[in-house]
Structure 1
Amino acid sequence: MIKGSIIKVLVLVLMMGMLSGMTNEAKAQTYSKATWLWNPWSLVDQQDEILQFFQDRQVNKVYLQIDQELSPAVYQSFIAKASSLGIAVYALDGAPDWAAPKGYLAQDRLFSWLTKYQTSSLPIQRFKGVHLDVEPYLYSGWNSKRGAVVKAYQNLYIRAGKQTTQLGIPLEADLPFWFDEIKYNNTFGSGKLSDWVQKHTDGVTIMAYRDTADLIAAFSEHELKTGQSLGKPVTIGVETGHSYEGNYITFHEEGEIYLNQELEKVQGKVSGYKSFSGFAIHHTDSWMRLAP
């Protein structure tokens, strides 16, 4: 009788261990590995090469720049192939002057194009979301008229939120890690700009551009905490291109092996946050040229 009870307990413990392992594995599989693809013209004759690179690096999310002069057929072909490989493709656009007084005109042109594209494409050819990279701090009025620029920046996300809702797809944004130091006090209320953007989007990618795990994790901490409280995902972005700001910004000098080692360390530091959703590598072209 006692022996039978012991066996039952051992079986139960074994089953719990298996379930725990399955849960951890499932959790690991939810992490995204994303990249920015800024040159959509490379898809004209390099689709297969790029897709093979994504498969080799286990990329499952791509922020793909929209160039309205490029044939929609190129986007349709690439997205269909990517979708079949389990890669979600988001429409990428934005510029500093989108935060200008009439910046919404460029934004509206994007969404007009995107609406036509989505309507005329098969489900497997459609974008899975919108990813905006605006960077208003590069706009000429950032220092002289920051209050107005910040408000225009907020307005564009309110507008984009309505536009993506109409399309039935999520809205994401790129954020510099230091946006939690930028304050706003206007008709939208008051607080930290990064918190506001996280609240009004479906997810953000933090441009935590440093080449050591400690700094990358530290620079992402506030947004991870905010994302956790809001129930919003946070992706941590790192740089692989050459930077004139200094070698500490990018993994360009260290290479891909070191990059992967540091990202593994970062994951160990931040995986306790439910908001942590993975990494994004900036960007496809420089990543493909990165030394081992």
Structure 2
Amino acid sequence: MHWCTTLMALAAPVYALPFSLPFGSTSTPQRAVWLWNSDIIQDDVATDKFFSVASAPSNKFTTVYALIDRDMGNEAWQSFIKKCNSSGIAVEGLMGDAQWVLGGTTEDGPTFQHSLDWVKQYQESAPDNAKLAGIHLDVEPWGLDGWASNKGEYVDSLVSIVSRATEAAKPLGLPVAADLPFWANTVDCEDTKLDACMAKRLDSITFMTYRSTPKDLLDVAHSVLNTVSSMGKKGWVSVETSADVGEASLISYAGKALSTLAGDLTNIETLAKSHSGFSGIAVHDYKSLSGMSG
């Protein structure tokens, strides 16, 4: 779902790498991965492979953004989340559709309210060791054809969606996170920019900072990490591993060795810790990552 963002990001401004900021994160950086093909949790062999990949020394994932409501019953989700929790992996319920900003959905996708209702019924019925750890929104109106001419309206709708999500999550005790492009600091939102506007409402933000080297990634992450740090909020940076994106050599680790990715993730963590709001790195996504080798 992120290919539109990566294409648009190529023309966005680049910022200097923050080698000497006066504040820094004292917490241990975390690792996360998007799991769009969450139907694998119904297959024992596929699930075993997921845990093998997630726990590998090169990955050590602590969070998985797992796409919810794939016509699976609660039992499958409870089993998967129990296994994740026992392995030290938190599961955030991933939901999103760009069409939600228009008040609708794609032909084969759930509505926003349907997704919220699913989370509510699941969280209220699941035992403590099988509950979701949060809601993770991926709603990308910048991927719609009308983005350029309807930017203000779409941003207002996105704000409404985030507000509804936080309102629904509060009685369930769930934090809410969302994916944003690294150039969110260039988009107007209320009396500020989109990164700060969303940070006011969210518990954390995962910025889609897709680049194929640590320096290039942190160049584009600098401004938005400064924003969340100054607001006392948390921000994640992210890497792409899929070959199915435009300008893949610039924004993706596809075709590179897994050892190269592992080394770069460590370097990114070391450099990004100069930002107090830096939480960790998210990898997009499990399907393409699991196919990497070397």
**Normalized against structure 1, the TM-score is what?**
0.85
Cα distance change of structure 1 residues 234 and 124 upon mapping to structure 2, 3 Å threshold: same
Distance, in Å, in 2 between the alignment partners of 1:271 and 1:85 is: 25
**What are the residue-to-residue correspondences of 1:119-268 with 2, within 5 Å?**
119-184=124-189, 189-246=190-247, 247-268=249-270
Distance, in Å, in 2 between the alignment partners of 1:225 and 1:132 is: 22
Runs of 4+ in 1 over 6 A off after TM superposition: none
Partner of 1:244, secondary structure, is coil
**Alignment counterpart, residue 93 of structure 1, candidates 92, 95, 98:** 95
Distance, in Å, in 2 between the alignment partners of 1:269 and 1:120 is: 42
Contact 2:152 2:188 in 1 (8 A): no
**Alignment counterpart, residue 112 of structure 1, candidates 117, 120, 125:** 117
Which residue number in structure 2 is paired with residue 54 of structure 1?
54
Contact 2:243 2:254 in 1 (8 A): yes
Pair member with larger Rg: 1
**Sequence identity (%):** 30
Which residue number in structure 1 is paired with residue 78 of structure 2?
76
Distance, in Å, in 2 between the alignment partners of 1:85 and 1:242 is: 29
Structure 2 unaligned residues grouped into runs of 5+: 1-24
| 1:37 alignment partner AA | L
Distance, in Å, in 1 between the alignment partners of 2:55 and 2:26 is: 20
Distance, in Å, in 2 between the alignment partners of 1:81 and 1:55 is: 12
Partner of 2:139, secondary structure, is coil
Greater relative contact order (CA < 8 Å, ≥ 6 in sequence)? 2
1:37 aligns with 2:42: no
Which residue number in structure 2 is paired with residue 19 of structure 1?
none
**Two-structure CA RMSD over aligned residues (Å):** 1.6
Contact 2:26 2:276 in 1 (8 A): no
Deviation at 1:126, TM superposition (A): 0.7
Aligned residues: 261
| 2:193 alignment partner AA | K
Q: By percentage of residues, which structure has more helix?
A: 1
Question: Residues 192-225 of structure 1: CA distance to partner in whole angstroms, max 9, x if unpaired?
Answer: 1111111210001111111011111111111211
**Normalized against structure 2, the TM-score is what?**
0.85
Deviation at 1:170, TM superposition (A): 0.1
Contact 1:243 1:249 in 2 (8 A): no
Structure 1 unaligned residues grouped into runs of 5+: 1-25
